[in-house]
Amino acid sequence: MTMRTLSGGAKAVVVIGALALSLTACSSIAPATNVGGGETVTLRLASPLPATGTYGEALEHWAAAVAEASDGEIEVEIYTSGSLLSGTDIMPGVSDGRADLGLMFSNYHVEQLTLFNAVATPFVSNNTMATGAAFKQLYSESDLMREQFATAGIVPLAFVLNGAASTGTRDEITTLSDLEGQRIRVPGTVAQMEGLVGVDAVFLELAELYEGVDRGVVDGWSGVDFASAMSLGLAEVTPHATDLGIGQYASAAIIVNPDTLAGLSAEHQAIINEVSARYPEALSNVMTDLEARACDNLLDAGGSATRLSDSAVEKFITATEDEINASLQRASVDAGLTAAEHDDFIERYRELMTSYDNPSGYVDGLELCVAKSAE
C-alpha cells in the first residue's frame, strides 16, 4: 500500500486492544507521569447510544474490567444516549476537550476521516469481527490514515466492532422495489445507496429514532446494526428486519483527546493495555449474546427477519456499487489524497476483510435470526 504523509485529561479507555498501537504510532504523545500511584482518576466518555445494546454493554463490560484491574483507581463515567455530546458532535467535542473520550462512528465524519470510512465500501463482508482486526492493522500500516486522525485533533484508541447493516420497516421487505418511496432514517453512504433505489433518505440522531418512527416522521430505519436497533426498542414500531446484503457499512472508534492521553501515568497505561489485550475474545461473546437476545425480542414482538434474494441483492449491487465506490474515492481526493492512494487503501481493506480467519467462530446475528425466523 502506498505510504506518504499528507501536507498541509487523566486516563483513557479502549475497547479492543489497540492502546499500545496508539501510543507507539502517535509521536505527538509523550509518556506521562503525573497520574497514578494510588490516585483515583476519572474520565468522561460520550456515547450517542443507550447503556443497553452492542456498544452500551461493551463499554460497561470494559469499564468494569479496568476498574477491577486498577483496584478502583481508574473510573470511567459513560454518558449515554447523547447526554454529554450528540453523535455528530463527539469528534469535535473530544478534540476541543468537552469530553475526554468518545464513541465515534465512521459514517458521521466521512469528509474528514475518508480512510476510516473505507468500511462504507459496500458488499465486502458481513463479518463483524473482521472489522476491528482490519482497521487495527490498517492504522498501524498507513501514515495517511494516522494523519487524518491527527488533523482532526483526536487519537483512536480502538476500532470497535459493528454488526452488518440491517433495515427495519413496518411492512415486510421482499423485493428491492418495496423500498421505493419509503422515508427511511439512514446515515452516510448507506443513505446514498438507498437513495439510488428510490428511498427518501433522512437523518435523525439515534436517540430520536424510536420517537421518529412512532410519530410517523420516518417509515423505518436502515444502516444500523441489528443488536443496537433492537436495544432501542424498534421491534415495537418496525417489526420487520431485513438484510439487504450490504454487509459491513460502518465502524466505531473509541477516541481520546491527546492531552487526556498525555496525562495518563505509565502505570495506568499498562493496566488499560493489559485489560484491552484480553478484550476481543470477550467482546465476541458479548456480541453473540446480544444478537441472540435481539432476535428473541424481535420474534417475541411478532416480527420477522428476512434477507433479500440473491437476485435482488445483485440488482442492488448493479444499481449502486460503481457510483458509491466513485463517491468514496472523490471524498478522499477532496481531502488531499490521490485516487491511487485511496484505491490502494481500499484494496488492502478488502484483502484484510475477506482473508480474516475468524478464530472466534462468530456468525452475524441478523443472519442467524433470518434462519430462526424461517423455522
Strands 74-79 vs 41-46: parallel, antiparallel or unpaired: parallel
300 and 203 part of one domain: yes
Structural domain of 47 = 19-163+250-288
Answer yes or no: is 8 within a domain: no
234 and 255 part of one domain: no
107 and 122 part of one domain: yes
Q: What pLDDT sits at residue 303? A: 95
Length of the chain, in residues? 375
68 and 198 part of one domain: no
| Residue 195 CB partners (closer than 8 Å, separation 6+) | 201
Integer Cα distance of 205 and 142 in angstroms:
31
Q: What CATH number does the domain containing 65 carry? A: 3.40.190.170
Answer yes or no: is 11 within a domain: no
Q: What pLDDT sits at residue 279? A: 64
Q: What pLDDT sits at residue 277? A: 63
Q: What pLDDT sits at residue 3? A: 40
- For residue 348, give the amino acid letter: R
Answer yes or no: is 10 within a domain: no
125 and 74 part of one domain: yes
User: Beta-carbon neighbour count of residue 228 at 10 Å?
Assistant: 22
Q: Work out how many domains the chain is built from and give that number.
A: 2
86 and 193 part of one domain: no
Q: What pLDDT sits at residue 363? A: 87
Integer Cα distance of 11 and 333 in angstroms:
35
| pLDDT tens string 229-239 | 998 899 999 99
Q: What pLDDT sits at residue 205? A: 83
In which element (H, E) is residue 184 found? strand 183-185
Integer Cα distance of 91 and 152 in angstroms:
8
Answer yes or no: is 259 within a domain: yes
Integer Cα distance of 134 and 155 in angstroms:
17
Answer yes or no: is 177 within a domain: yes
Q: What pLDDT sits at residue 196? A: 96
Which of the listed residues 288, 309, 342 is the one where a domain comes to its end?
288
- For residue 174, give the amino acid letter: T
Q: What pLDDT sits at residue 179? A: 94
Which of the listed residues 232, 264, 288 is the one where a domain comes to its end?
288
Answer yes or no: is 9 within a domain: no
Integer Cα distance of 375 and 370 in angstroms:
9
**Which residues of the chain are under the pLDDT cut of 70?**
1-37, 276-282
118 and 140 part of one domain: yes
CB 240 within 8 A of CB 169: yes
238 and 185 part of one domain: yes
Q: What pLDDT sits at residue 278? A: 67
117 and 169 part of one domain: no
Helix (H, G, I), strand (E, B) or coil at 252: strand
DSSP state of 32: B
Longest dimension (CA), the chain: 62
318 and 232 part of one domain: yes
CB 242 within 8 A of CB 166: yes
CB 286 within 8 A of CB 58: yes
116 and 179 part of one domain: no
Q: What pLDDT sits at residue 99? A: 96
The two counts, helices (H) then strands (E), for the chain are 14, 11
Answer yes or no: is 4 within a domain: no
145 and 254 part of one domain: yes
- For residue 304, give the amino acid letter: S
Q: What pLDDT sits at residue 305? A: 97
Answer yes or no: is 3 within a domain: no
Which of the listed residues 260, 288, 316 is the one where a domain comes to its end?
288
| pLDDT tens string 177-202 | 999 999 999 988 899 999 999 999 99
Q: What pLDDT sits at residue 160? A: 77
Q: What pLDDT sits at residue 366? A: 92
